[in-house]
Structure 1
Amino acid sequence: LLIALGILLSSAMRLDPGEKNSFIQGVSMINVGNFGLPLIHLTLGQEAVPLSIVYFVIFNIPLCTLAIYMSSDQTRLREIMLDVVRIPIFHAFLLALVFSWLDISVPGGIQQGLQLISAGAIPLLIFILGLQLAAISLSSLQDRLLRFVAIVSAASAVRLVVSPLAAVCILYFFPISQLEMSVAVLQTSAPAAILPLMYAIKFNKSPELLAAIILFTTVLSGITLPVIIQYL
């Protein structure tokens, strides 16, 4: 639904291909991991963590596949799919699923090495986000400043307001508990995910715009999330 809405709005605003990709990624790819998981643990308690992990795993499927597909600068389906399988995170995701399904334990030494690498992943992503934001300047935007602000504002509104409202409307028709409802709404109310920024950089799809959307949705979520949590 969010991808479809992103496509419609980006077409209505007549965005160029790079801006369109960043807009769609900003409104549809959600930071359900390093933002959503701690948030749910803090607000709903340990009981809600297993449910939030289910959402985290499911949302990572399009994040590791569809997000790359949309970001690819190729035109033929075969080349686009090759871009998807060339990204290491796709193989890591499949390998993790296999290890989980087969209940395979990772040797201690390898596990410690993976934990060390994973501990540095989020700071590295934030550092790259900062580099992209540093590349944005008022002088570089000039005549398109209002356009830039409008795109970021529209993406932030969809990500932080339309998304949770849509989730509530959809979940109303499902026989789920209040806890399940709260986890689902909170996870779909989180800011834009950082990982698609790596794809935007690799395929040169307006990474500065996506970085701005990530920053503003993260900052503005400090206003929207308390309201949503109070409602829940």
Structure 2
Amino acid sequence: MLVALANALTPILLIICLGFFLGKKTDYLDSPSLGALVSNLGLPALLLYSVLSMQMQVFSMLKIIAATVIVLAIVALASYAFLKILKLPTRFYLPPMVNPNTGNLGIPIAYALFGNEGMAIAVVISSVVQISHFTLGVGFMSGAYHPKQLLKNGPVIALLLGALLLSFKVSLPAPLMNTLNMLSHITLPIMLMLLGKSLSSLNIKESSKINRATALSLFRPAVGASSACLVVYFFPLSHLESSVLIVLNAMPVAVISYMLAIKFKGPVDEIALMILISLPTSLFTVGFLWWFYL
């Protein structure tokens, strides 16, 4: 089992390292259009193709969405209490604690561990977390929120379109499905390389922040995984759905939280350090869950 986990995670880590190297030594990944390409084209294509090709039932999709929302709510409450104990402001610290990196790390890990079926579940979960990024994340860090932002979110649109097609039992023509499949193949490698590139550009200046960032980094995967375990115990999910939900909620702090901190002038260095520390912590947590629980 340990060999299977290592075989699954090694390509992911190698591509992240490749992105880190390219970010340090080249300008191949510097274009902001790459991130937009994945967010607005690759990820929606992956989501729509995965949901339609697996013929996921609308009820199953709604169960996964509901379970994800409940997990995020539990994590938000627990993180809020933890931040109050540490006397830290919730405006900039709560969103990174609540929203895991289900996109450019969670989806590849779900695919590596659980195959295409697991990836289909993962992209649904990731879409819910994307909504949380653009509601909780933007709302808290900016101090304001505009619902129109969701209408511009590609994965959300793909999720709604997929649910609509499944509801009316509409199957897309084979050439169109093949096109979606080809587009989806660009998503995972670019996501992982962009994650590596983001890590290569993080800048930590004050060593005094390490202890606080470490505490938050250890808390994020632990509270995410434990909250998901609690929800799947009471929620009517299949074993595969439960496993993917737990793994994705054990993911580290999302890079988008770092980008939002830059945009809204938050504690950029600490959130950068949280990403760096929570990444190996999350991988260790996934390994532990895979070995003893899943």
Which band: TM-score by shorter chain?
A: 0.7 to 0.9
Structure 2: runs of 5 or more not aligned:
1-73, 166-171
Distance change in 2, residues 1:96/1:41 (3 Å): closer
Q: Counterpart in 1 of 2:141? A: 71
Structure having greater relative contact order (Cα 8 Å, sep ≥ 6): 1
1:24 has 2:94 as partner? yes
Q: Distance in 2 between matches of 1:81 and 1:49?
A: 30
What is the CA–CA distance in structure 2 between the aligned matches of 1:117 and 1:41, rounded to whole Å?
A: 12
Q: State the 1:166 CA deviation.
A: 1.7
| Aligned-partner Cα distance in 1 for 2:240–2:159 | 26
Note if 1:210 corresponds to 2:271: yes
* 2:58 matches 1:58: no
- Tell me which of 51, 54, 79 is aligned to 1:6: 79
Deviations 1:47-70 (A, max 9, x none): 222222211122211112221001
Match of residue 119, structure 2, among 49, 54, 59: 49
- SS of aligned partner of 1:150: helix
Provide the identity percentage.
24
TM-score, scaled relative to structure 1: 0.74
The alignment partner of 2:254 has SS state of coil
Aligned 1:99-138 pairs, distance under 5 A: 123-124=193-194, 126-131=196-201, 133-134=202-203, 136-137=204-205
| Aligned partner of residue 65 in structure 1, secondary structure | helix
SS at match of 1:192: coil
1:77 aligns to what? none
**1:54 partner amino acid:** V
1:115, 1:182 → 2: CA distance?
24
Change (3 A) 1:92 1:170: closer
Shift of the 5–217 alpha-carbon distance from structure 1 to 2, 3 Å rule, reads: same
2-side partners of 1:119 and 1:21: how far apart? 32
Give the corresponding residue for 1:171: 232
CA contact (8 A) 2:95 2:136 kept: no
Q: Which moved more, 1:195-204 or 1:21-30?
A: 21-30
Provide the aligned C-alpha RMSD in A: 3.1
The 8 Å contact of residues 65 and 90 in structure 1, kept in 2 or not, is answered as no
What residue number does 1:81 align with? 145
Number of positions where the alignment pairs a residue of Structure 1 with one of Structure 2: 207
CA 1:216 to 1:90, structure 2 compared with 1: closer, same or farther past 3 Å?
farther
Q: Secondary structure at the match of 2:236?
A: coil
Distance 1:68 1:126, change over 3 A: farther
TM-score by length of 2: 0.60
Aligned-pair distance for 1:22? Answer: 4.0
Letter in 2 for 1:81: Y
Q: Is the contact between residue 64 and residue 90 of structure 1 (CA under 8 Å) also seen in structure 2?
A: no
Q: Deviations over 1:116-163 (max 9, x none)?
A: 8997676456434433x32x23xx44xxx1xx2332222222222222
What SS does structure 2 have at the residue aligned with 1:81?
coil
Letter in 2 for 1:53: V
Residues 171, 102 of structure 1: alpha-carbon distance in 2 compared, 3 angstrom cutoff: closer
Structure 1: distance between partners of 2:188 and 2:151: 16
